[in-house]
Structure 1
Amino acid sequence: MSFTLKGKANKILEEIIAFRRELHQNPELSGEEFETSLRIQEKLQMHAIPFKAGYAKTGILGIIRGSKRGGTVALRADIDALPITEQTGLEFASKSEGIMHACGHDSHTAMLLGAGMLLNEMKEELEGTILLVFQPAEEKSPVGGASAMMADGVFDEIKPDVIIGQHVWPDLEPGMVGVRPGSMMGNSDRFKLIIKGSGGHASMPHTTVDAIVVANQVITMLQTIVSRNIDPIKSAVVTVGKITGGVAHNVIADEVVIEGTIRTLSDEVKAQVKNRFIEVVEGTVSSMSGTVEIDYLDGYPATVNSEKWARRVKETAISMFGQNRVPEVAPSMAGEDFGRFLQAYPGVYYWLGCSIGEGQKPLHNPSFMLDEAIFSDGIELMSQLAMDALSQIKTGGMND
């Protein structure tokens, strides 16, 4: 590495933590991040980082042009929050009722700003261009903000040679770095079933088709898809998360709505599960004299890391923090809109451990908290990765 950025974030850490807390207190839902976007733009202006705004309405592209010619590295952070009522008790807890940064996007945004600040100070040494991608609507599955930003031309003028995403991860100890080649996160599809029968009096079931009984059988049969149709060595999850039906204790329901999600790590397994899902649902409902409307929503694609860029993250992290801070990790079935960027451009998505230790709650929990001590590691790692990636692009090293 020509330049080492370890320790460089200390001078900006107080500002970055304060900015993260400001964002945490003022969260906005997917597609509504107007004030968040303005706050980011103000910070970019304050630190003389050029940018363009308005991608997918609230998205921003910061542009740091090095003094020397070279490749282009894009760094991405998501900026939206979740419809969750915060229960952390933090002094900087959300002031917006029913909205919370329960997935760490406030910290992602703050750390990307910090990386931009460090890299902008070093632009005379940069051999290429750094793009800072502040993405809205990551939580708005299956639509998301990545496709919308690209459709709005975020990379039309400057195309990245590689795109890098960082996500805080409470399952890892503070400052640990988790990365792997191939699937890092899963395909995340959704479904909604409207099962229709024929209602009637509870005392005369023989004159009806009980939609609740049909739905019960469908739910039972769905459990056979993974256990009896998918290779045990491969991964898939079928989860029913919501059931709605019935009007009274003495009325046989004529309609039940079932909603859920399907998670897979490969497109091959996704197609297999989807096809079998439709067969099982239609066959089960038909056999019980009901009818069904199937709304299957193809969600975010799997987040698939390039082997070359996964190695880059691992080697940079080991060089900065040591081998013991870069453990082997298994993929997660959680979905991530970053997968759409990786379908269009080579790149890598990695996890930064943020656990507070005992009492740590998972992502999307109303009591989720993270260890802010990781911010210096996150800023410095992302900045170093950008510089190492530019160097790698120039030399053509670590070919796939």
Structure 2
Amino acid sequence: MLKEKIRDIARSLQDNAVATRRHLHANPELSFMEEKTAAFLAAKLDALGIPYERMAGTGLVAIMEGTKGPSDAVIALRADIDALPITELNDVPYKSQSPGVMHACGHDVHTTSLLGVAEILLQLRHEFSGRVKFIFQPGEECIPGGASLMIKEGVLQNPAPARILGQHVMPELPVGKIGMRAGRYMASADEIYIEVYGKGGHGAMPHTTVDPVIIASHMIIAFQQIVSRNANPTMPSVLSIGKVIADGAHNVIPDKVIIDGTFRTLDETWRFDAHDRIRKLAHAIAEGMGGSCEVDIRVGYPVLINHEALTAEVRALTEEYMGADNVVDLPIWMAAEDFASYSQVADACFYRLGVGNEERRITSGLHTATFDADERSLEIGAGLMAWLALRSLGAS
């Protein structure tokens, strides 16, 4: 059976997969700076004899064609390759060797798994017709995101895939489990940068100042009514302020206050309506209190939408490969992912790969200095995605 062939190959590749993942983990690179990572991947693809081209600077896209017979079918598979500006605290042999940089979001697992898919499909080329695009994407962690750049450079053209699949590690899920959600799954994410201007002075003589600290405080509180009194209560929205700098002193009112935050939602129309409301409210408060402000809202990733019919198909195939008990429903997640850019222009399915293991104390969350993954997930991640690709191309 095809399923058993895939499992056998994935199992035989596990030791190499672990070595690959540990190399990537020990040598992380920040967004759009993944030169050594790209060179490593290129060498791997060269060794396999799989043709590829560079895109978006440090990204690669490879294409493999099945030999079973002629077909116009095309499927794309994506992995992200960048790391985060975090200092790793794990005491493991494959600990990051790049100071202040760490694969704390599991992109090393995603990349290794996709390389494994390529190796599996290479051994099973006679089992399928059509073509598979392997997208090794840079810059997921930094807007505008490598996905949007690769799309602009034609990654979803010549040939155009009928569907695109992606997976993401989930430490809250035990290894061996897969998480799915159809429809709206992950939020848009936009960055808010505001500078509030007043007139500084002595803290003992506030009447001679225009206090930007007070203005900024009113803004921060008032912003919450944008969500609580303007958003549809059935549509999740988050407006969070994470950074405030009022660089005065205990007795000095500053001239300027800096406010940084994020706005997230699951509706593209409301998203940009909210941007307008943030700008108008900020200016109205600042001017009404005698000051002024500048508002810069940097548009980030869009809403990630898992195509309903495709996700239903992927779920059924995943249950066939993993067992129905190992596929779980996921709630909406207000984090953001630039895979969303693909989902805006193509039928897409983005699912979660369990990597947690309480017994081995592999439980730390994403974007933390102690994140790690149960490496048995590599065999599962490669095998499952290979299965989904082959079945999508009609192999049985």
Verify same fold: TM over 0.5: yes
Q: Give the partner amino acid of 2:381.
A: G
After TM superposition, the structure 1 stretch with the greater mean CA deviation from structure 2, 208-217 or 43-52, is: 43-52
Residue 154 of structure 1 and its aligned partner are, at CA, apart by 2.7
Q: Does the residue aligned with 2:329 lie in a helix, a strand or coil?
A: coil
Query: Is the Cα–Cα contact under 8 Å of residues 196 and 292 in structure 1 kept in the other structure?
Result: yes
Rounded Cα–Cα distance in structure 2 between residues aligned with 1:321 and 1:82: 31
TM-score, normalised on structure 1? 0.94
Rounded Cα–Cα distance in structure 2 between residues aligned with 1:346 and 1:155: 11
Q: Give the partner amino acid of 1:99.
A: V
2:122 aligned residue (120, 123, 134): 120
Q: Give the partner amino acid of 2:383.
A: E
1:22-80 CA distance string (max 9 Å, x none):
0000000011100000101111111222222x201111111111112220011000000
Query: Is the Cα–Cα contact under 8 Å of residues 356 and 369 in structure 1 kept in the other structure?
Result: no
After TM superposition, the structure 1 stretch with the greater mean CA deviation from structure 2, 246-255 or 38-47, is: 246-255
Q: Give the partner amino acid of 1:377.
A: I
1:358-387 CA distance string (max 9 Å, x none):
561111111111111111111111000101
Q: Does the residue aligned with 2:90 lie in a helix, a strand or coil?
A: coil
Rounded Cα–Cα distance in structure 2 between residues aligned with 1:356 and 1:248: 47
Q: Does the residue aligned with 1:260 lie in a helix, a strand or coil?
A: strand
1:232-271 CA distance string (max 9 Å, x none):
2220001111111223332211100100101101113313
Q: Give the partner amino acid of 1:314.
A: R
Q: Give the partner amino acid of 1:371.
A: D
After TM superposition, the structure 1 stretch with the greater mean CA deviation from structure 2, 182-191 or 223-232, is: 223-232
Q: Does the residue aligned with 1:154 lie in a helix, a strand or coil?
A: coil
Rounded Cα–Cα distance in structure 2 between residues aligned with 1:157 and 1:321: 33
Rounded Cα–Cα distance in structure 2 between residues aligned with 1:186 and 1:88: 30
Query: Is the Cα–Cα contact under 8 Å of residues 166 and 350 in structure 1 kept in the other structure?
Result: yes
1:150-174 CA distance string (max 9 Å, x none):
2223343221111111111112221
Q: Does the residue aligned with 1:84 lie in a helix, a strand or coil?
A: coil
Rounded Cα–Cα distance in structure 1 between residues aligned with 2:139 and 2:339: 11
1:189-231 CA distance string (max 9 Å, x none):
1110000011111111001111111111111111222222222
Q: In the alignment, is residue 381 of structure 1 matched against residue 384 of structure 2?
A: yes
Q: Give the partner amino acid of 1:170.
A: P
1:98 aligned residue (100, 105, 125): 100
| Equivalent residue pairs, number | 391
Structure 1 residue aligned with 2:146? 145
2:91 aligned residue (85, 89, 92): 89
Structure 2 residue aligned with 1:270? 271
Structure 1 vs Structure 2 CA RMSD: 1.6
Structure 2 residue aligned with 1:367? 370
Q: Give the partner amino acid of 1:323.
A: A
Query: Is the Cα–Cα contact under 8 Å of residues 312 and 389 in structure 1 kept in the other structure?
Result: no
Q: Give the partner amino acid of 1:190.
A: E
After TM superposition, the structure 1 stretch with the greater mean CA deviation from structure 2, 107-116 or 152-161, is: 152-161
Structure 1 residue aligned with 2:235? 234
Query: Is the Cα–Cα contact under 8 Å of residues 59 and 134 in structure 1 kept in the other structure?
Result: yes
Q: Give the partner amino acid of 1:147.
A: S
2:80 aligned residue (70, 78, 91): 78
Query: Is the Cα–Cα contact under 8 Å of residues 312 and 385 in structure 1 kept in the other structure?
Result: no
Query: Is the Cα–Cα contact under 8 Å of residues 362 and 371 in structure 2 kept in the other structure?
Result: no
Structure 1 residue aligned with 2:394? 391
Q: Give the partner amino acid of 2:289.
A: M
Structure 1 regions of 5+ residues with no counterpart?
395-400
Rounded Cα–Cα distance in structure 1 between residues aligned with 2:277 and 2:76: 39
Query: Is the Cα–Cα contact under 8 Å of residues 362 and 372 in structure 2 kept in the other structure?
Result: no
Rounded Cα–Cα distance in structure 1 between residues aligned with 2:191 and 2:299: 7
TM-score, normalised on structure 2? 0.95
Q: In the alignment, is residue 191 of structure 1 matched against residue 192 of structure 2?
A: yes
Rounded Cα–Cα distance in structure 2 between residues aligned with 1:46 and 1:94: 26
Q: Give the partner amino acid of 1:140.
A: C
After TM superposition, the structure 1 stretch with the greater mean CA deviation from structure 2, 20-29 or 278-287, is: 278-287
Structure 2 residue aligned with 1:135? 137
Structure 2 residue aligned with 1:340? 341
Q: In the alignment, is residue 249 of structure 1 matched against residue 250 of structure 2?
A: yes
Residue 389 of structure 1 and its aligned partner are, at CA, apart by 1.2
Rounded Cα–Cα distance in structure 1 between residues aligned with 2:124 and 2:200: 71
Q: In the alignment, is residue 14 of structure 1 matched against residue 31 of structure 2?
A: no
Q: Does the residue aligned with 1:183 lie in a helix, a strand or coil?
A: strand
Q: Does the residue aligned with 1:232 lie in a helix, a strand or coil?
A: coil
Question: How much identity, in percent, do the aligned residues show?
Answer: 38
Q: Give the partner amino acid of 1:40.
A: L
1:93-119 CA distance string (max 9 Å, x none):
000000000000011000000001000
